[in-house]
Homo-oligomer: A and B are copies of this chain.
């Protein structure tokens, strides 16, 4: 009799695991339960659907349900919610429109993802208050935007035309709560769609995963694009218009009348099912796993936004709900279940985003206080350089901040901001972190140079040169070098 591998959750981690397991061992019965309609979709693309630069929700789906069933041979069941796990008997309780039924498993993957967290304030459950955690949310926001006359036709028009069109009417005013990636991306796309955008951030800077210098560059850019920034402005309540729709956002002295509120205030791992099953929850609040993504129950795996990961810099557990990790760890579980034990590997907390044309990226441990808590003698340097040779047309400013450990010389993390190919430069540092590189060695990397692509010393190399100077001669004053020095 063939073994049964059951997956709970049909997005990145779940579908990667299911597809890989079935491909590597076609004798497996692979069952996927997804409680909603959509499977295997690119959640990171939702802001661009709202913007209109991605036409249809279907475009965000990388594997359709039909492909999963017919081409990949998966027993995919949508609109099926798993409500209970009996880990003694290896049996699930599943509910669909016909009622509950039982499903046994030999091996189980919990890929239940993350849920948006709303701030604990009055009014977050009003109509016209949205989170962005599912394709249906994205659809709802786009519909709400279009309801007031912002039609499809306008989206296809040039930026100038959109602005002109909207000036003739009363454009939507939107409050975005939270200045993280989702908040900034939504602020950007809502501006593109002609909305007036108020961004509320509880702390004194957006992008709390970055240092102040980088955040300030982003803030200036947002203001230039017409986003109203409210910093140090924790939202206290969202007011009702009397009919159940959001009407105003109140934060400190400000009360801003709005037509819509978008909450981008973070996510938490969905662990309810794991908790019910008695599977161990880790100190981060996500499901604890070993390096093979196995939970405290030997037949149960967890991967993706519901599970803990290992940080490549600290070696400790971490919670980093991002798309690549979910795909990679899901795939590793698929290989393991198919008979080849595989580690998905640690993560570096790498993230990248585009704010208008500004590219912002980070990796590793960049907060000096946090680095010190992990026992590193942390030091950082920030340099300004350019994206191309100074004489080459289009050379644009790039700022690189690198963090290292003074006592060991080890590289700990980095952040980058700039236009013109700034963002993906972070990948050089990601590679270095995965190999436990020293700052001194990074300084000597033979990175690609030609005038259209980089100064002779790539900005990352200039950063390494300056940081290594600080590591080797800590008492010397900081010198910021130009790109050709």
Residues of A within 8 A of B (CB): 12, 19, 42, 44-45, 48, 53-54, 59-60, 62-63, 181, 312, 322-325, 327-328, 343-354, 359, 361, 363, 389-393, 421, 423-428, 430-432, 434-437, 441-442, 444-454, 456-458, 460-461, 484-485
Given contacts A425-B427, A432-B431, A435-B441, contact A352 B450 (CB under 8 A): yes
**Cα of A447 to Cα of B427 in the assembled complex, Å:** 6
Using Cβ atoms and an 8 Å threshold, which residues of chain B touch A458? 427
**Cα of A181 to Cα of B450 in the assembled complex, Å:** 10
Using Cβ atoms and an 8 Å threshold, which residues of chain B touch A345? 441, 444
Whether A446 contacts B392 by the Cβ 8 Å rule is no
A-B contact pairs, 11 of them (CB 8 A): A42-B451, A42-B456, A53-B392, A322-B449, A343-B444, A345-B441, A348-B445, A350-B448, A352-B448, A424-B454, A430-B448
Among candidates B48, B63, B359, B426, residue contacting A451 with C-beta atoms closer than 8 Å = B48
A483 to chain B minimum Cβ distance, whole angstroms, is 9
Whether B48 contacts A392 by the Cβ 8 Å rule is yes
Among candidates B44, B427, B456, B485, residue contacting A324 with C-beta atoms closer than 8 Å = B456
Q: Which residue of B lies closest to A348 (CB)?
A: B446
Other CB < 8 Å A-B pairs besides A323-B456, A351-B448, 18 of them? A12-B456, A42-B391, A45-B389, A63-B484, A181-B450, A344-B444, A346-B444, A348-B446, A354-B450, A423-B448, A424-B424, A424-B425, A424-B453, A430-B445, A431-B432, A431-B445, A434-B445, A435-B435
**Cα of A389 to Cα of B361 in the assembled complex, Å:** 17
Whether A435 contacts B431 by the Cβ 8 Å rule is yes
Given contacts A424-B424, A435-B437, A454-B424, contact A392 B430 (CB under 8 A): no
Whether B448 contacts A361 by the Cβ 8 Å rule is yes
Using Cβ atoms and an 8 Å threshold, which residues of chain B touch A423? 448, 453
**Cα of A25 to Cα of B312 in the assembled complex, Å:** 40
A16 to chain B minimum Cβ distance, whole angstroms, is 9
Given contacts A45-B392, A347-B446, A484-B62, contact A352 B453 (CB under 8 A): yes
Whether A456 contacts B348 by the Cβ 8 Å rule is no
Closest 4 CB pairs of A and B: A345-B444, A435-B435, A431-B431, A352-B448
Using Cβ atoms and an 8 Å threshold, which residues of chain B touch A325? 446
Using Cβ atoms and an 8 Å threshold, which residues of chain B touch A312? 446
Among candidates B42, B44, B435, B461, residue contacting A432 with C-beta atoms closer than 8 Å = B435
Whether A434 contacts B424 by the Cβ 8 Å rule is no
**Cα of A325 to Cα of B181 in the assembled complex, Å:** 38
Whether B324 contacts A446 by the Cβ 8 Å rule is yes
Using Cβ atoms and an 8 Å threshold, which residues of chain B touch A60? 391
A431 to chain B minimum Cβ distance, whole angstroms, is 4
Whether A53 contacts B324 by the Cβ 8 Å rule is no
Q: Which residue of B lies closest to A390 (CB)?
A: B62
Q: Which residue of B lies closest to A326 (CB)?
A: B456
Q: Which residue of B lies closest to A482 (CB)?
A: B62
Using Cβ atoms and an 8 Å threshold, which residues of chain B touch A391? 42, 45, 48, 54, 59-60
**Cα of A421 to Cα of B83 in the assembled complex, Å:** 46
**Cα of A24 to Cα of B305 in the assembled complex, Å:** 51
**Cα of A1 to Cα of B59 in the assembled complex, Å:** 75
**Cα of A454 to Cα of B45 in the assembled complex, Å:** 12
Q: Which residue of B lies closest to A364 (CB)?
A: B446
